[in-house]
Every structure is written in structure tokens, then in C-alpha cells.
Copies of this chain bind each other. A is one copy, B any other.
Amino acid sequence: MKEDILTKIPDIDYREAAPEIDDKEFDKVIRSRRSVRVYRDEPVPEEVIHKAVEHALLAPNSSNLQPWRFVWVKSPQKKKELVRACLGQSAARTAPELVVALARTKSWSKVQKEMIHVLKENDAPKGAFAYYEKIVPLAYGQGPFGLKGLIKKIVIFFRGLLKPTPRGPTSQADMRVWAHKSTALGCENFMLSIRAQGYDTCPMEGFDEVRVREVLGELGQEKGSEVCMIFSVGKRADNGIYGPQVRMKKEDFFIVI
């Protein structure tokens, strides 16, 4: 096998041992996280949101390009407008706090440059530089009018006839999937973290994206940036959860081959 950046195990001294964890506590976080639609009229300490965002930003993400942004809409006027953009739904209307998660398809090139800078400072192996200097722009760049993506698609097709070849992203539509996917990984960390800290969330997709962008001002107008989901945050009211959690039978969703 020809060795490359993916297959070669680099000769690095770094060691990071895993701590002991009480997984019963984790199980409680997962099982007690429910979408809460009515909140108590009780404030959320600022540090709870800050810690949850820190946890969100530690999620794995595609090539570590961190294509996400979390916007905490604290201003009472903007929050009121955001509730309206969330169709006035109870999960937003009764919530002490609202946070918008944005998925960004174009911010990766800035992070790419920062990554190269970090690698330089840390005397990283050659392969890592090659990855960020050559592979990343090739993989994620789609060019003007998506032309680079189109050319990639053709080259990939023929190369793929001969050997295993990554198939995308080769379009702006693929980049949307790409950005939302990584952002959602962060979003799940956010929600679980809020739960672990004794508070609740509801992830919302029922909103008017045009109006949400208006509420966010410049942040909402960033090119290639889309609203991934909006969280409400607070403490569940007694009637905050509308019923037991429903999931269809596991065999439909988990298959061993």
C-alpha cells in the first residue's frame, strides 16, 4: 500500500490518556433530554450558556474547519422579534433564553489559514501541512459558479472507476450538507450540556429563516451562512413535556451485517 497522509501513522510523541467516567451519569443526560415546550419563568445563569457553547465548540467537525456559529440573542427587543420569527411557538415564547446555531459554508478558508498558522507554531509533521495547504482547498473549494466542483465531479467519476475516491463535496448543495452536519454535532453537545447542568432545551426548525436573518443583522447576512436550528433554553415547567418519548422499533434503524 502506498502511504499517504490518511494511511500513514505519524511518528509523534503526543499522548493523551482517557479519564475514568461514570457512564450512568451520561445515560441520565441522554435519557432526561426531552424537547421542552413550556418553561418556568426562571432565569438561566449566564455561565450555563457559556459552558454549553464551550462544549458545543469541542464537537468533532469536518477537517476541524469549525463551520459553525452560535448566536445568543439576549437583547429583549431582538428576542421578541425572534419569538415572532419562530412562529410564536410556546417553546420559544415561554423560554428565558434563545440561541441560534448557524451553519457556514464559506468560513472554512479563514479557519484553514489559521490551522496552517497553528501547525507552524507547533512544528507539525509535513503531512498535516500538505493536508491543510493542498487537500482542504481542493476538497472544499467549488470555484465561481460551482465550476471547480463540476470539474471535480468529472475527475472523481473517472478516478473512481480505478480506485477508492472520495465523492464530494462537489457542489454548493453538498457544502450545505457538509456545514449543517458538523454544526449539528456541535448542537447536540450544546443540548446535552444544558441538560447535564440542570436546564432544558428545545431544538426548533419551525421558523421563518428570512426573518431570523433580519433579527441577526450582519451575522444573518453573512454569505453562505444558514440557520441550522434555534434553541430555547430554560427550566422545564411541570407541563413542559407533552408526553413520553416515542421511538419506532430499533430493528428499523439499527442493522448488523
A residues lining the B interface (CB < 8 Å) = 1, 6-10, 12, 14-16, 18-23, 25-35, 37-38, 53-55, 57-60, 62-64, 66, 68-75, 78, 84-90, 93, 111, 114-115, 118, 122, 124, 128, 160, 164-168, 173, 176-178, 180-185, 187-189, 191-193, 195-198, 200, 203, 205-211, 216-217, 219, 228-229, 236, 238-239, 241-248, 250, 252-257
Contacts and interface: CB of A to CB of B under 8 A. Distances in A.
B58 A208 contact: no
Contacts of A21: 25, 28-29, 32, 195-196, 198
Contacts of A203: 60, 185
A238 B1 contact: no
Nearest to A167: B209
Residue of A114, A166, A193 most packed against chain B (CB within 10 A)? A166
B166 A196 contact: no
Contacts of A252: 69
Given A7-B93, A75-B257, 20 more contacts: A7-B87, A10-B242, A16-B244, A18-B32, A18-B200, A18-B236, A23-B196, A26-B29, A27-B55, A35-B60, A63-B205, A66-B253, A70-B254, A71-B254, A114-B248, A160-B210, A180-B180, A184-B184, A185-B187, A188-B188
A69 B189 CA distance: 20
A197 B216 CA distance: 40
A193 B6 contact: no
A253 B6 contact: no
Nearest to A118: B246
Given A15-B238, A18-B200, A32-B18, A53 B176 contact: no
A205 B167 CA distance: 10
A206 B243 CA distance: 40
A14 B86 CA distance: 25
A128 B177 CA distance: 29
Contacts of A63: 205
A229 to B, nearest CB: 7
A42 to B, nearest CB: 13
